[in-house]
Chains A and B, each alone.
Chain A
Amino acid sequence: MKGKIKIIIDGKECWAKPGQNVIDAARDNGIYIPSLCHVEGVKPAGSCRVCNVRIEGRNMTACTTPVADGMEIENDIPELNELRKAIIEVLFVSGNHFCPSCEKSGNCELQALAYRFRMMVPRFPYEFPIKGVDASSKYIYHDRNRCVMCKRCIRTITKDGKNVFAYSSRGGKHLHVVMDKELAAQMTEKEAQKAMDICPVGAILKKERGFYSPIGQRKYDTEPIGSDVEKNIDHLKQKEQ
């Protein structure tokens, strides 16, 4: 393990590249740390807080914390999983998440996390906030009712070097993500698909693409989110043998 540093996640010895963040290092070692806002290779925002892990007795977001030699990390423990479940429940009540009528259902990361943590019902009262829909551009449908403010689109989707999405009313009561109508209108079909894929929920959709895969063949229909990462454990073990 030349050039790598040792970290310990839930008592398991793992090897990480110096400077790597905890969430990516865990993934490379076959350990899944749940997250909504993290995109590999993009500067982390730490906005969803779902990837909370405990490092040296402190809760830290695994996406914004770089690894250090000998770092001891607690991840899959009841206390943290309960905290993550609570965050997911907050996201469910603070938006308008009507899973049965959502085009992203089955491929939605928020929903998949709720499945993973077996969320029967949110413990908080539903807010039913009033939020807008922007369907003005040719290929993109922007539904703020489903937005979880993960900032993935803000950090990744650009057109001619300009950000298409941005926060609005920062500091006000109604912080929300807005889409630049002019830039969005210029986006190609391919770029619209990329924007839809980057959104963890159904807030950004490519038009005329809804309900594309039938029930039973969608991303999270048969296996919980994170299974691909966890399956890697067996893969790595086989490699070692």
Chain B
Amino acid sequence: MSKPVIATTSLAGCFGCHMSFLDIDERILELIELVEFNKSPIDDIKTFTKQCDIGLIEGGCCNSENIETLKEFRRMCKTLVSLGECAIMGGLPALRNGIPIRECLHEAYINGPTVGLNKENILPNDSELPMILDRVYPCHEIVKIDYFLPGCAPRADLIWNALIALVTGGELQLPYEAFKFD
């Protein structure tokens, strides 16, 4: 039997959840015996090469590219897991949710105290750039998400326990110390 395949991505996140994933330390050697990685920043595979079993999503959706990636993950992965507060509820990027998008862009590119070089007051308008969304969306409001692992970042033990439970079909161990929202 071939090994289960894992794909991971970071949408509107800070890569903290991926760093926390690497915090499983030497257990990564054990993990690589159990699973195979496909599209993921961990092995630097940029595009899906086959259908995957588990997709780990870090970060919420703040622009059109995030939505596209998330939908692709939904198509390519049997099981999707929201990893961390940003994927679950938007996280810190969602602090902008109450502020109109125009105001946000003006603060960032025109009126902000650290804006100096933008003499012509240009807002990012290149057609190559993804469109920013009206607000930041939790992943499960865009596609169906199967499991959620809270934390900022989720503790390495929690990620490890979840992966082992998913790969071996066992029950998820949720120790109190590993279950945090921050």
Contacts and interface: CB of A to CB of B under 8 A. Distances in A.
B177 A101 contact: no
Interface string B141-168: 1000001111010000000000000000
A78 interface: no
A98 B92 contact: yes
Given A121-B140, A128-B94, A115 B88 contact: no
For the complex, would chain A's binding face be called helix, strand, loop or mixed by DSSP majority? loop
Interface residues of B, number: 27
Contacts of A118: 174, 179
Interface string A209-239: 0000001000001111000000000000000
A120 interface: yes
B94 A98 contact: yes
B84 to A, nearest CB: 9
Interface size class of A (residues with CB under 8 A): 20 to 34
A153 to B, nearest CB: 23
A99 interface: yes
A125 B141 contact: yes
B181 A101 contact: no
**Most chain-A Cβ atoms within 10 A of its Cβ — which of B89, B141, B174?**
B89
Contacts of A98: 85, 89, 91-92, 94-95
B135 A99 contact: no
**Most chain-A Cβ atoms within 10 A of its Cβ — which of B90, B98, B149, B177?**
B98
Interface of A: 92, 96, 98-102, 105-106, 111, 114-115, 118-122, 125-126, 128-131, 215, 221-224
Interface of B: 82, 85, 88-92, 94-95, 97-98, 135, 138, 140-141, 147-150, 152, 174, 176-177, 179-182
The 9 closest A-B pairs by CB, nearest first: A100-B152, A99-B181, A128-B97, A120-B148, A121-B148, A130-B98, A105-B182, A100-B182, A99-B182
18 contacts: A92-B89, A96-B97, A96-B98, A98-B95, A101-B95, A106-B182, A115-B179, A119-B150, A120-B88, A120-B150, A122-B89, A125-B141, A126-B90, A128-B94, A128-B97, A215-B182, A221-B177, A222-B176
